[in-house]
Structure 1
Amino acid sequence: MDVPQPHAVILPFPAQGHIKPMLMLAKLLSHANFYITFVNTLDIHNHFLELINQTTFNNLFPRLRFMAIPDGLPPEHPRSGPQFIRDLFISILSAAPKHKFRDLLLSLINGPETGGGQWSTPTCVIADGLISILAIDVAEELHIPVIAFRTVSASSYWVYLNIPKLIEEGLIPFQGDDDMDGLITCIPGFQSLLRRRDLPSFCRFESIENPVLQFFINQTLAMTRASALILNTFDGLESPIISKLLSFFPKIYTIGPLHALLESRIKDHLLLSHSSSNGSLREQDRTCLAWLDSQPSKSVVYINFGSLVMITPDQLMEFWYGLVNSEKPFLWVIREDLLLGEDMVNETPQELTMRTRERGCIVGWAPQEEILAHRAVGGFLTHSGWNSTLESIWAGVPMICWPQLADQQVNSRCVSELWKLGIDIKDTCDRSTVEKVVRDLIEGKREEIMKSSDDIARMARDSVREGGSSYCNLEKLVDDIRSFMSSSQYASSECNEGRKL
């Protein structure tokens, strides 16, 4: 008779930067013989299934299935553009997503597959920190343990937890005419690191009543009701801050970089990423890899501002001129929805077009992990999203940071001043600056950055090897979830009856 296996329900926030690491965790837990129900919003669910080969995916991960709940937005909503995420923050708190998630959990509890079948009653919910209120409210009602997964860095999450203190001190909100280089000294561990400009982007709203600011405050505090916290980082990078987070959570599992841990635990990772899905919600243009093959070692700067950041045509032109004037080869990801207000620059100067043909390659989306690991790439101009930052750290590629949203401001400051892995150019966008920092990085003029990049990449590799901190922490997570199955609370018949209400 088969031994019953845990069944984890995973609920990510509906954005690529959140879905990607949580899907990696789902694959790792599935590889450990867990049953996984991965819950996307309906729009993401339908789009995701169109992008993957479902037969191949099901063969590779027969214990991993996808289900969906509504996102709370009306059907006619375009679900794109600068207003989309703001609308999503509000809609995710509405009644419909919570009710549908409760109905979904009840169907998993009371469905025909429970009572000894393979897909047993959920053992736990692993919830994205940005949906913590929804997930924890429902799971607590149904007596299901909740583990929170925060897809930002430990450093960024620590700053988020200190936002109420910053409000009490009168330090936020602030406007652009304030002293942006004024030090923020009241966050323990970061007393001499952060300036106003390094705080999360939502700290720049005019009022503390702004719904986006309040969303982050409330979701961050709600997370502390979870039984444990998962972070996509590694101890060698952020241990001082991780230790401070232990005052809010009884257990913390640092299991990053997740893309590297997945490769370490599942040896045919490249086959899996090509034939199933790596969590990307966009089609990848792989022709750029052949272009990279033709470039000298460590000569190329790679540019990608992520899946959500949008820029103005003027900003695009400043970056473009800076790149071509640097006279370094560049590979630039320009999404079809990257520009604010226009689909593309109407009249691109002929000199830019000509000089880009000489040394540049532009694609709509790209296989980033493979690009950063390519021998030709010598620098990464990034928005400092946490997935991109970790992937660059793992590859040992130094960064030029141009953050725009949420946690990116904190990440970029840590990259440049704490970990010495790159150059932070936040709140700056001019061609001369771009030209200079690209030249400095590719020509190796920042020796401290090069050394730190090599050293910390080595630490990241050690963390995911057998016996490494992230490798062992994943095993602890697996063992602890298994223990939920035999816990007195989980086995309580009274609780089981309560779930059926």
Structure 2
Amino acid sequence: MTEAAAIMEQASPIPHVLIFPLPVQGHVSSMLKLAELLSLAGGEGGIRVTFLNSDYNHKRLIQFSDAESRFRKYPGFQFKTIDDGLPMDQLTKGEKVLDLMREMGLKTRPIFKDLLAQMDPPVTCVIGDGVLGFIRDVSVEVGIPIIRFRTVGVSCFWINFWLPEIIEAGELPVQGNGDMDRMITKVPGMESFLRCRDLPGYCRVSADDQVLARIVRTTRESSSSPPSPLILNTFDDFDGPILAQVRHLFPKTYAIGPLHEHLKSRLQGTTTTSSSSNSLWKEEASCLTWLDTQPPGSVLYVNFGSITVMRREQLVEFWEGLTSSKNRFLWVIRPGLVSHEEELDGDEIPEELVEGIEKENLKVLVGWAPQEAVLSHDAVGGFLTHSGWNSTLESIVAGVPMICWPFFADQQVNSRIVSEVLKLGLDMKDVCDRRVVERMVNELMVEKKEEFGRKAVEMARMAKESVKEGGSSYENLELLIEDIKLMSSQARELKGCKSSNNIS
């Protein structure tokens, strides 16, 4: 920093926010969108943003996205990486993500603390991924205000908060498959629709499971006095009843989503490009050209996300069900989708699975797709999804109804909200049978296409209204920015007082 810049910094301190996500695709993507929103909408004086990524994910981000050039346009923005020695390529698939959270708590904590001490200019506010409790612990220890960003759906956060009461009431653990449809009654606001099978995937364990205990502890720490402020990627018209419950315990709750649409809305009219990618995979844009050749609303988009791992036999069941439905589909099959022990050979679906199929009616990508663009394409009329939170919101904004096949974590409850509460699609959790796949695809794409379509279009309208000026998410972001500036100012004053006391 130059001497002149240092003098200006002292005269008019600029808040310096450090954003630290769990290093997996969905968390990195949504928190990068938040980083861009803060960089873009900081107002007079701005907000300086540092985005902290793992070495492994940052290399992939720079290789496969435009993030580096895009963020170069924002004064004061910087990427920082953290080298924690963890095998990210192994720990970011399937349920190993839970192991990643545990390992980061052990190995990354001291590295993070040292990094905070070395930052220049000093960090005045940390926005940490809500699933990584050590971020809060370190921030509190060094005296930096902390805001938690829960990248999952608010319903999952709310369930996590009430898990002690669920366990105490004997509603967990689940007593076998025959117990899965029993109602859960101890989560305020969800008593009428929440079943055992809709609880987050990590609840299907014994009541003393260590992973479950860590998730409960991390969530409950949010409500310590004073409760940590929360950022949520949702909007009031979507999650209003649960948000009202959450705000009783967490008054500082900022619902500023859908983040991807919010960013797009704020970028309109600026010189910054409105298209952006935060992908950790190479995106195959050829699928958009193929979609251009398909009739409107005729294609079912199939993508199970960046973490889901399935068995080869499950892949075959989906394939047979999809092709038997006679509907057009676009299926993204990323590397690692099939479990390592049964990994597919070569770069395509085995030829025996596609014999007799008219290939102009289907397209398979072995790689990754520009999902927001795909879902927004006129040819797409449905989405077979793992019900990850980002995918759910992207589908809602695009007005595309869903068939939900959740894998783990918040995806189980997301699929229940989509199907039972909002009536925006069908829930296929815990089932992988070609006949069920065929039936549900035809129900979504043919038999109830208009019914689901009307509801999806209305929800899309509300989502887009929420991020426009005067909308609930727009106003909540403005409030978040004001509070970040206030927190940063108070943190500087407190440090100044401590320094003066030490001198005296």
Q: Which residue in the other structure is 1:115 paired with?
A: none
| Aligned mates of 1:314, 1:471 — CA distance in 2 | 45
Q: Which residue in the other structure is 1:180 paired with?
A: 180
Deviation at 1:454, TM superposition (A): 1.5
CA contact (8 A) 1:144 1:490 kept: no
Cα distance change of structure 1 residues 60 and 92 upon mapping to structure 2, 3 Å threshold:
same
Same amino acid, percent of matched pairs:
45
Deviation at 1:381, TM superposition (A): 0.3
Matches within 5 A, 1:98-497: 98-108=109-119, 111=120, 120-131=121-132, 133-205=133-205, 207-225=206-224, 227-267=228-268, 272=273, 278-340=277-339, 341-344=341-344, 348=350, 350=352, 352-355=354-357, 357-363=359-365, 364-445=367-448, 447-487=450-490, 490-495=493-498
Q: Which moved more, 1:426-435 or 1:378-387?
A: 426-435
| Aligned mates of 2:141, 2:315 — CA distance in 1 | 49
Cα distance change of structure 1 residues 58 and 159 upon mapping to structure 2, 3 Å threshold:
closer
Deviation at 1:342, TM superposition (A): 2.1
| Aligned mates of 2:210, 2:358 — CA distance in 1 | 42
Counterpart of 1:100, as a letter, is: I
Deviation at 1:489, TM superposition (A): 6.9
CA contact (8 A) 1:106 1:499 kept: no
Deviation at 1:64, TM superposition (A): 1.9
Q: Which residue in the other structure is 2:13 paired with?
A: 4
Deviation at 1:214, TM superposition (A): 2.0
| Aligned mates of 2:501, 2:156 — CA distance in 1 | 38
Q: Look up the SS of the partner of 1:36 in the other structure.
A: strand
| Aligned mates of 1:356, 1:388 — CA distance in 2 | 28
Counterpart of 2:436, as a letter, is: T
CA contact (8 A) 1:27 1:64 kept: no
1:13-68 Cα shifts (integer Å, max 9, x gaps):
11111111100000011112311111112322333233345762353234321112
* 5+ residue gaps, structure 1: 112-119
Q: Does 1:14 align with 2:62?
A: no
CA contact (8 A) 1:227 1:250 kept: no
| Aligned mates of 1:392, 1:327 — CA distance in 2 | 23
Deviation at 1:89, TM superposition (A): 2.2
Q: Which residue in the other structure is 2:79 paired with?
A: 66
| Aligned mates of 2:242, 2:151 — CA distance in 1 | 15
Deviation at 1:234, TM superposition (A): 0.2
Q: Look up the SS of the partner of 2:173 in the other structure.
A: coil
Q: Look up the SS of the partner of 2:51 in the other structure.
A: strand
| Aligned mates of 1:125, 1:419 — CA distance in 2 | 34
| Aligned mates of 2:23, 2:270 — CA distance in 1 | 24
CA contact (8 A) 2:92 2:100 kept: no
Q: Which moved more, 1:486-495 or 1:435-444?
A: 486-495
| Aligned mates of 1:497, 1:65 — CA distance in 2 | 31
| Aligned mates of 1:455, 1:267 — CA distance in 2 | 22
Matches within 5 A, 1:13-52: 13-31=22-40, 32=42, 33-52=46-65
Deviation at 1:209, TM superposition (A): 2.8
1:247-288 Cα shifts (integer Å, max 9, x gaps):
3213111000000000010127997465xx532111100000
CA contact (8 A) 2:124 2:488 kept: yes
1:99-143 Cα shifts (integer Å, max 9, x gaps):
1111111111xx4xxxxxxxx322210011011x21111111221
| Aligned mates of 1:124, 1:55 — CA distance in 2 | 23
Cα distance change of structure 1 residues 497 and 180 upon mapping to structure 2, 3 Å threshold:
farther
Q: Which moved more, 1:31-40 or 1:65-74?
A: 65-74
CA contact (8 A) 2:125 2:488 kept: no
Q: Which moved more, 1:227-236 or 1:244-253?
A: 244-253
Q: 1:56 aligns with which of 52, 69, 77?
A: 69
CA contact (8 A) 1:145 1:227 kept: no
| Aligned mates of 1:297, 1:83 — CA distance in 2 | 37
Deviation at 1:154, TM superposition (A): 1.3
Q: Look up the SS of the partner of 1:393 in the other structure.
A: helix
| Aligned mates of 2:482, 2:185 — CA distance in 1 | 40
CA contact (8 A) 2:93 2:308 kept: no
Deviation at 1:177, TM superposition (A): 2.8
Deviation at 1:415, TM superposition (A): 0.4
Q: 1:88 aligns with which of 100, 104, 109?
A: 100
| Aligned mates of 1:255, 1:67 — CA distance in 2 | 25
Counterpart of 1:259, as a letter, is: H
Q: Look up the SS of the partner of 1:487 in the other structure.
A: helix
Q: Which moved more, 1:427-436 or 1:378-387?
A: 427-436
| Aligned mates of 2:192, 2:398 — CA distance in 1 | 29
Tell me the matched-pair count.
Answer: 484
Q: Which residue in the other structure is 2:3 paired with?
A: none
Cα distance change of structure 1 residues 80 and 396 upon mapping to structure 2, 3 Å threshold:
closer
| Aligned mates of 1:270, 1:292 — CA distance in 2 | 29
Cα distance change of structure 1 residues 58 and 82 upon mapping to structure 2, 3 Å threshold:
closer
Cα distance change of structure 1 residues 488 and 389 upon mapping to structure 2, 3 Å threshold:
closer
1:143-172 Cα shifts (integer Å, max 9, x gaps):
111111001111111111111111111222
| Aligned mates of 1:81, 1:238 — CA distance in 2 | 29
Counterpart of 1:26, as a letter, is: A
1:310-332 Cα shifts (integer Å, max 9, x gaps):
11111111110111111111000
Q: Look up the SS of the partner of 2:179 in the other structure.
A: coil
TM-score, with normalisation over the residues of structure 2?
0.90
CA contact (8 A) 2:16 2:49 kept: yes
TM-score, with normalisation over the residues of structure 1?
0.91
Deviation at 1:309, TM superposition (A): 0.4
| Aligned mates of 1:495, 1:382 — CA distance in 2 | 52
Q: Look up the SS of the partner of 2:230 in the other structure.
A: strand
| Aligned mates of 2:501, 2:25 — CA distance in 1 | 35
1:369-426 Cα shifts (integer Å, max 9, x gaps):
0001000000000000000000001011000001111000100000001011100111
CA contact (8 A) 1:71 1:91 kept: no
* 5+ residue gaps, structure 2: 1-7
Q: Which moved more, 1:480-489 or 1:457-466?
A: 480-489
| Aligned mates of 2:345, 2:428 — CA distance in 1 | 24
